[in-house]
Amino acid sequence: MTIQELSPAEARQRQARGARLIDVREAHERATGMAEGAQGVAKGALEAAPATHVPDRDAPLLLICQTGARSRAAAEALAAQGWRDVASVAGGTTRWQAEGLPLTPPDAGIDLDFHERYSRHLRLPEIGLDGQTRLAEATVLVVGAGGLGSPAAYYLAAAGVGTLRIADDDVVDRSNLQRQILHAEERIGQPKVLSAATTLAGLNPRTRIEPVAERVTSANIDRLLDGVDVVLDGADNFPVRYLLNDACVLHRKPLVYGAVHRFEGQASVFDAGRQRGACPCYRCLFPEPPPPEAAPNCSEVGVLGVLPGVIGLLQATEVLKLLLGIGEPLRGRLLQFDALRMQFRQTRLAPDPDCPVCAPGRDFPGYIDYAAFCSGPRT
Ligand SMILES: [Zn+2]
């Protein structure tokens, strides 16, 4: 069935001749302002019971949404149910506004910044107002404001995570700027957490940044995890990786892991704290760190500058999914990325029933501070 699509100006003329204009967007979208004279009935409610809202099947009807797709679909649904004079406004409220046609003022008290800033999230039914509100109420611990933490924190702030607690005891060095995009030339020598806070505040002043200019150790790990919903490991070194793993099992927090080396990277979600025996932790894979002489010397190993961007954004994606409760988290799977071949490979990871930390029923063995392998700047 072909639905007639009208320009906003044509719709306005029909409206003047008595056609009813119905805005089929969700209530939170309509709160930012509607085409003048429109009545709000969300698409789902309208399609479920059209006769309740439009008893006369011959009445001239005009449907409008944000950009024209939902109103066209709703018009098709109504036409299929026997409404004979339904048209859709092409381009929707966006075009209506752009062409200078009158709008009702936004609802009193509405947070226009929130609705504009997150409009592309709010239009996704999987996120919507509930999901965006959940993000705003969330606290994420980002360990490391370096190569992985930079892109991750950048996008988590942009996406509207309410609080980012960022822990890093390092200062900005010129050699960081090849990949650590939160920082800037003029902030060389500054603590990374303060440099990060400056950039993130410029991107999204709604996100609260808690800068913690400390090295992560057993002495502060409990405090760092306090009140946190998800932990992102952007430190990419063995002592912190094991400490975070153990602490996240103890405190039942999901840990989003990432690591990079030269042209390759990997990511996973360790959720053994909340799902003992069902999900692996990092120690299920590698019970102990390698001896220092076997581990790469981080200050000497090179890394392709974009690589931590790829892995850090995979981590940020997993953080958002965990906070929103959508999709299939990267639990029990290790995703490996090879930039030179441009290939992803996935390996299944099973929990180790004898894991020293996360085996069901096992008492927590206590924290271990392994010797730092890297004295130089972290990757
Ligand atoms: Zn384990």
Task: Report the predicted TM-score, pTM, of the whole model to 2 decimal places.
Answer: 0.84
**For residues 258 and 270, is the Cβ–Cβ distance under 8 A?**
no
Query: Ligand 1 centre from 270 Cα, in Å?
Result: 9
Q: Can you tell me the distance from the alpha carbon of 50 to that of 43, in angstroms, rounded to the nearest whole number?
A: 10
Q: Structural domain of residue 141, as residue ranges?
A: 122-375
> Tell me, what's the pLDDT at 28?
86
Per the residue annotation, which of 298, 355, 358, 374 is the catalytic one?
A: 298
Q: How confident is the model at residue 375, as a pLDDT?
A: 42
Residues 32, 214: Cα–Cα separation, whole Å: 43
How remote is the C-alpha of 257 from its chain's centroid? 15
Same-domain status, 101 and 130: no
The answer to whether residue 144 sits within a structural domain is yes
> Which residue has 């306005």 as its token pair?
12
Please list the pLDDT of the chain residue by residue as tens digits (379 residues): 689 999 999 999 999 999 999 999 998 889 889 999 999 999 999 999 999 999 999 999 999 999 999 999 999 999 999 999 999 999 999 999 999 999 998 888 889 899 999 999 998 989 999 999 999 999 999 999 999 999 999 999 999 999 999 999 999 999 999 999 999 999 999 999 999 999 999 999 999 999 999 999 999 999 999 999 999 999 978 999 999 999 999 999 999 999 999 999 999 999 999 999 999 999 999 999 887 777 665 556 899 999 999 999 999 999 999 999 999 999 999 999 999 999 999 999 999 999 999 999 999 999 999 876 554 444 4
Contact of 265 with 336, CB cutoff 8 Å: yes
Contact in structure between 245 and 270 (CB atoms under 8 Å): yes
Determine the distance separating the centroid of ligand 1 and the alpha carbon of 352, expressed in angstroms.
6
User: Do 105 and 253 fall within a single domain?
Assistant: no
180 and 286 within one domain: yes
What is the domain-level CATH number for residue 87? Answer: 3.40.250.10
* Predicted pLDDT of residue 92: 96
Cβ neighbours of 193 (radius 10 Å): 26
Q: Are residues 214 and 87 in the same domain?
A: no
CA dist 112 → 42, 109, 123 (Å): 20, 9, 15
Same domain? For 96 and 154 the reply is no
Q: In 10 A of CB 247, how many CB atoms?
A: 22
Q: How many helices (H) and strands (E) does the chain have?
A: 15, 13
Q: Is 173 contained in some domain?
A: yes
Residue 117 counted as domain residue: no
**What pLDDT does 116 receive?**
92
Ligand 1 geometric centre to CA of 53 (Å): 56
Number of folded domains that form the chain: 2
How many Å apart are CA 308 and CA 371, to the nearest integer?
24
Number of CB atoms found within 10 A of residue 96's CB: 28
Whole-angstrom Cα distance, residue 242 to residue 216?
Answer: 11
Residues 143, 84 share a domain: no
User: Which residue's entry shows tokens 């609705």?
Assistant: 115
298 is catalytic: yes
Given 61, 90, 110, the domain boundary residue is 110
Compute φ and ψ for 63, nearest 5 degrees.
Answer: -110, 140
Q: For the chain, list the strands marked E by DSSP.
A: 4-6, 20-23, 39-40, 61-64, 86-89, 139-143, 163-167, 208-212, 230-233, 255-261, 264-270, 333-338, 343-348
Provide the pLDDT for residue 85. 95
* Distance between CA atoms of residues 265 and 158, nearest Å: 24
How many Å from the N-terminal Cα to the C-terminal Cα in the chain? Answer: 58
If asked whether residues 94 and 126 sit together in one domain, one would say no
What is the C-alpha to C-alpha distance for residues 238 and 264, in angstroms, rounded to an integer?
17
Residue after which a domain boundary falls, among 110, 142, 161: 110
CB 22 within 8 A of CB 46: yes
Specify whether 298 is located in the same domain as 151.
yes
| In-domain check, residue 115 | no
Residues 154 and 97 both lie in one domain:
no
In a domain, 218, yes or no: yes
Q: Is the residue at 12 inside a domain? A: yes
Q: How remote is the CA of residue 177 from the centroid of ligand 1, in Å?
A: 35
Do residues 206 and 106 both lie within one domain? Answer: no
42 domain-assigned: yes
- Of 110, 134, 155, the last residue of a domain is 110
